Structure 1
């Protein structure tokens, strides 16, 4: 682009190019009000980003708490399952002992009956 193709404006002794033409017109119309708005928007943007960071930190904390709780529950469930398995094994052993005792009792009664019949 040659120098002749560029539009140049002179306002209040300043030379302005195409890129700042819109800013110059905006400043003439709105003046310091737009700067206040820009400042307020920047402040709001910073506030939103700060709050977003706080929320992300809270989410991470809740995630960690949930993972810890899930681990604790899983450990508790495993302990309880182990206890139930031990109780079942003990009861099965007791049932087997009872079944053996009935067989022994039957055999003893037969032997007693045979001894009685021999006498």
Structure 2
């Protein structure tokens, strides 16, 4: 008999708790029903708006990222072209300096030969 009482007690308690919970839920629904539904719909609208904004921001981030990568590639190409131009310019100036030095040497030799011809 004690076993039957133990088994019945949880069922009865659960039954009483369930009925108490359902009564409380019914009272909540009566008192706050319209407000809760309004809050739920507002929360759902806010949730949908947040999700839409998140997707919009992710799209914007993707667009900005691709533009930045494209600008980096363009800048890299431009820098490489400028470096090549600078290297060519430096090489040309070095060649001109070498020619000027050679011309001075040639000029000196010409002056020596001219001096020798004048003295003869």
TM-score category, normalised to shorter length: 0.7 to 0.9
Map residues 54-93 of structure 1 onto 2, 5 A cutoff: 54-93=56-95
Matched, 1:5 2:13: yes
Give the count of matched residue pairs.
110
- Report the more deviating stretch, 76-85 or 23-32: 23-32
Q: TM-score scaled by structure 2?
A: 0.79
Structure 1, gaps ≥5 residues long: 10-15
Query: Closer, same or farther in 2 for the Cα pair 1:83/1:21, shift >3 Å?
Result: farther
Higher strand share: 1
> Structure 1 pair 112/76, CA: closer, same or farther in 2 (3 Å)?
same
- Bigger proportion of residues as helix: 2
Shift of 1:33: 2.7
**Larger relative contact order (C-alpha < 8 A, sep ≥ 6)?**
1
SS in 2 for 1:2: helix
In the superposition, the TM-score normalised over structure 1's length comes to 0.79
Q: After TM superposition, which residue ranges in structure 1, 4 or more long, deviate above 4 angstroms?
A: none
